[in-house]
């Protein structure tokens, strides 16, 4: 009789799997966005500056990025479900540590542990999608996950503001603890293994690094990874600057982050929905071209508005950001699937390396770029975001192409992680 691992498609409904994977992906935005309304209070309670509190974000992202290199390969070796259960448990315990941290030093330590564990959901989740589905079906499911997941960044700061106003900044981390417990139980009950034991690959540090080096030497992988990183970086610059945007630019309070996040994430959800509708009807290349058109128009419009004499106010201040998010959500599934399809027998490793590149870049944005823009007028934020979108477009245009024919997978041509050890 076949086991769950032998016939994974029979154990998951598409929407149920999408909802579970989207909930796992919510670790990231919940860990970041719920804290924003509490930033000033955290600085006062811990006796540190606003810039020091900002480092709770950059430390989290650096740890997230470092461990991202291992989540995928570990899931290739030990199975998807087991790694997700361990990761959610560690995240839950780290959230308890953050809530009980007596000073900034201990808070940074436990934020790093949160970062180490939080990436398991989104990274392994991408590999699960490609374990189960191919081509347009995979793009549709990834778009559905993105659409459901998009709710998290919109509601996280709103929930964070409510929890903070009700019980203080430590309660934000107790909320993350409860979220982790519920998600662990959900995975224990409903997530089935999608990688059969026969297809697992023993992990070796030497072959892992060698495989990553080969991926980085692949021009297609490298340029698509940077295209995706620059794309999301243009949005993450706004997200990591959200406290400045809401408190200083808009002159609003801790309960008003929804005015920034709801339109922005609505744009992302609509873009993800459209990406799913276009799957199988429009080529991936054309989808990405449409996405960049939206992002570049949004960037130019944002600079024009911010440099005008018009007052900086809703809704005009957030509409260009929402259009940027719309474009990013159209491009993301197509670019990610192109990357994973380059390495069909090492999707976990490919997903890990892509995430590492993007996360390190986001950590630099959160720890350096966003603080440097602090105190400057909104137009500097708009110029910086458009610069990142243009960089993403250049990386996309520089990708190798073979007369319109998709380049073949390279698994058979390079010594990727653990190859030859099966």
DSSP structure string for 217-285: H-HHHHHHHHHHHHHHHHHHHHHHTHHIIIIIIS---TT-THHHHHHHHHHHHHHHHHHHHHTTTS-HH
Give the pLDDT confidence of 189-198 residue by residue, as tens digits. Answer: 888 887 777 7
Identify whether 404 is part of a domain.
no
Higher pLDDT residue, 408 or 337?
337
Banded model confidence at residue 210, pLDDT cuts 50, 70, 90: confident
- Looking at residue 401, what is its pLDDT? 63
Estimate to the nearest angstrom the gap between the alpha carbon of 17 and the chain centroid. 18
Identify whether 403 is part of a domain.
no
Identify whether 342 is part of a domain.
yes
Mean of the pLDDT values across residues 107-136?
83
Where helices occur in 279-377 by DSSP H, the ranges are 284-306, 319-341, 347-364, 370-373
Question: What span, in angstroms and rounded, lies between the C-alpha atoms of 228 and 358?
Answer: 7
Give the pLDDT confidence of 166-178 residue by residue, as tens digits. Answer: 888 899 999 999 9
Structure tokens at 68: 């991202």
Residue-number span of the structural domain to which 352 is assigned: 8-397
Identify whether 149 is part of a domain.
yes
Give the pLDDT confidence of 380-412 residue by residue, as tens digits. Answer: 999 999 999 999 999 998 887 644 444 445 554
- Looking at residue 417, what is its pLDDT? 41
CATH number at residue 61: 1.20.1250.20
Higher pLDDT residue, 363 or 216?
216
Estimate to the nearest angstrom the gap between the alpha carbon of 47 and the chain centroid. 31
Beta bridge partners of 402: 405
Identify whether 405 is part of a domain.
no
Most confident of 96-110, 150-164, 344-358: 96-110
pTM of the model: 0.68
Identify whether 422 is part of a domain.
no
Banded model confidence at residue 310, pLDDT cuts 50, 70, 90: confident
Alpha-carbon torsion (56, 71, 90, 150), positive or negative: positive
Estimate to the nearest angstrom the gap between the alpha carbon of 261 and the chain centroid. 15
Identify whether 410 is part of a domain.
no
Identify whether 165 is part of a domain.
yes
Indicate the range of 80-89, 120-129, 132-141, 305-314 predicted with least confidence.
Answer: 132-141
Mean of the pLDDT values across residues 342-360?
79
Mean of the pLDDT values across residues 64-84?
83
> How many domains does one find in the chain?
1
Banded model confidence at residue 73, pLDDT cuts 50, 70, 90: confident
- Whether pLDDT at 31 is above 80: yes
């Amino acid at each position: 009789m076949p086991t769950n691992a032998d016939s994974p498609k029979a154990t998951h409904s598409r929407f149920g799997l999408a909802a579970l994977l989207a909930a796992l992906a919510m670790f990231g935005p919940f860990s970041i966005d719920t804290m924003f309304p509490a930033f000033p209070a955290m600085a006062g309670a811990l006796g540190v500056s606003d810039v020091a509190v900002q480092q709770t974000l950059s430390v989290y992202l650096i740890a997230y990025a470092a461990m991202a290199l291992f989540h995928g390969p570990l899931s290739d070796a030990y199975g998807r479900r087991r790694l997700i259960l361990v990761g959610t448990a560690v995240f839950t315990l780290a959230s308890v540590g953050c809530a009980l941290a007596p000073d900034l030093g201990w808070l940074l330590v436990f934020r790093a542990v949160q970062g180490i564990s939080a990436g398991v959901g989104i990274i392994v989740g991408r590999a699960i999608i490609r374990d189960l589905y191919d081509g347009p079906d995979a793009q549709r499911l990834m778009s559905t996950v993105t659409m459901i997941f998009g709710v998290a960044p919109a509601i996280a700061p709103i929930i964070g503001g409510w929890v903070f106003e009700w019980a203080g900044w430590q309660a934000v981390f107790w909320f993350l603890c409860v979220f982790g417990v519920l998600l662990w139980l959900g995975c224990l009950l409903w997530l089935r293994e999608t990688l059969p034991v026969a297809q697992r690959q023993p992990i070796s540090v030497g072959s892992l690094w060698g495989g990553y080096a080969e991926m980085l030497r692949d021009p297609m992988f490298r340029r698509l990874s940077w295209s995706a990183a620059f794309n999301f970086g243009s949005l993450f610059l706004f997200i990591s600057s959200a406290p400045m945007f809401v408190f200083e630019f808009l002159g609003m309070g801790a309960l008003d982050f929804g005015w920034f996040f709801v339109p922005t994430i609505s744009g992302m959800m609509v873009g993800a929905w459209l990406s799913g509708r276009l799957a199988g009807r429009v080529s991936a290349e054309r989808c990405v071209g449409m996405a960049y058109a939206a992002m570049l128009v949004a960037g130019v419009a944002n600079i024009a508005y911010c440099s005008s004499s018009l007052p900086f106010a809703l809704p005009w201040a957030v509409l260009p950001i929402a259009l940027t998010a719309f474009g990013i959500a159209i491009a993301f599934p197509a670019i990610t699937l192109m990357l994973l399809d380059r390495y069909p027998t090492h999707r976990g490793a490919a997903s890990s390396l892509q995430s590492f590149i993007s996360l390190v870049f986001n950590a630099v944005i959160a720890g350096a770029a966003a603080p440097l823009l602090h105190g400057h007028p909104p137009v500097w934020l708009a110029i910086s975001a458009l610069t990142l979108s243009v960089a993403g477009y250049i990386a996309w245009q520089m990708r190798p192409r073979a007369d319109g024919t998709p380049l073949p997978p390279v698994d058979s041509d390079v010594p990727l992680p653990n190859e030859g050890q099966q």
